[in-house]
C-alpha cells in the first residue's frame, strides 16, 4: 500500500512539472493543466469501470489534482492572452466571472468529495458524474472544438 501512495505522489508531482514548463497563459500551459485533470479523471474512470481495483490513494491523488488545478486554471486566461489559442472561446474573457465561478465549483466539488472519500468503485462513479457535469458545462460554454 505504501508503494501505491508513493507512486500516486510521484505521478501528481510529475504532473506539476508539466505546468511549470509551459509558459503561463499559452495554449500549452492551458493544455498541460487540462491534461492533469484528464489524467486524474481517467484514473478514477478506470476504477469506476472496474478496469483497476479500488485504491483510496489513487482516488485521493486524483481529487487533489483536480481541486488544485481548478484553483489555478483561470489564472491562465489573463487579459492579453485572448489570441493564439484556437480552443479557448472569446466568451472566457467576456464572461470571466462565470468562467472563474465554474472553475471554483469544480474545485469545491472535488474537495467535498475528497472530504467524504468514496469507499468503492460505485462511489467513484458517482463522484465522476458530479465532476464530469462541471467539466462538461464549462467545455460546452468556453471551449471551441478543434478536432
Domain ranges of the chain: 27-76+86-142
Q: Does 139 count as an annotated binding residue?
A: yes
Rounded to whole angstroms, the Cα distance separating 40 from 11 reads 10
Residue 135's alpha-carbon distances to 48, 96, 109, in angstroms, are: 18, 16, 11
Q: Does the annotation list 129 as a binding residue?
A: no
Instruction: Taking the CA atoms of 105, 109, 110 and 114 in sequence, report the sign of the dihedral they define.
Output: positive
pLDDT of residue 94: 95
Whole-number Cα distances in Å, 67 to 84, 89, 130: 27, 23, 13
Is residue 18's pLDDT more than 60? no
State residue 137's pLDDT score: 94
Per-residue pLDDT at 24: 73
What are 112-131's pLDDT values in tens digits? 999 999 999 999 999 999 99
135 is in an annotated binding site: yes
Read off the pLDDT band of 102 (50, 70, 90): very high
Q: What is the pLDDT of residue 62?
A: 98
pLDDT band of 21, cuts 50, 70, 90: very low
Give the global pTM. 0.82
Q: Does domain 27-76+86-142 have CATH number 1.10.3210.10?
A: no
Amino acid at each position: 500500500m505504501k508503494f501505491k501512495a508513493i507512486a500516486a505522489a510521484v505521478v501528481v508531482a510529475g504532473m506539476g512539472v508539466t505546468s511549470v514548463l509551459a509558459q503561463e497563459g499559452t495554449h500549452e500551459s492551458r493544455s498541460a493543466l487540462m491534461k492533469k485533470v484528464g489524467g486524474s479523471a481517467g484514473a478514477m474512470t478506470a476504477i469506476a469501470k472496474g478496469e483497476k481495483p479500488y485504491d483510496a490513494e489513487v482516488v485521493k491523488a486524483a481529487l487533489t489534482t483536480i481541486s488544485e488545478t481548478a484553483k489555478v486554471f483561470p489564472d491562465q486566461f489573463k487579459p492579453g492572452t485572448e489570441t493564439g489559442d484556437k480552443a479557448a472561446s472569446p466568451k472566457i474573457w467576456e464572461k470571466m466571472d462565470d468562467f472563474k465561478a465554474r472553475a471554483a465549483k469544480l474545485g469545491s466539488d472535488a474537495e467535498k468529495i475528497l472530504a467524504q472519500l468514496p469507499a468503492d468503485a460505485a462511489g467513484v462513479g458517482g463522484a465522476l458524474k458530479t465532476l464530469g457535469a462541471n467539466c462538461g458545462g464549462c467545455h460546452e460554454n468556453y471551449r471551441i472544438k478543434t478536432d
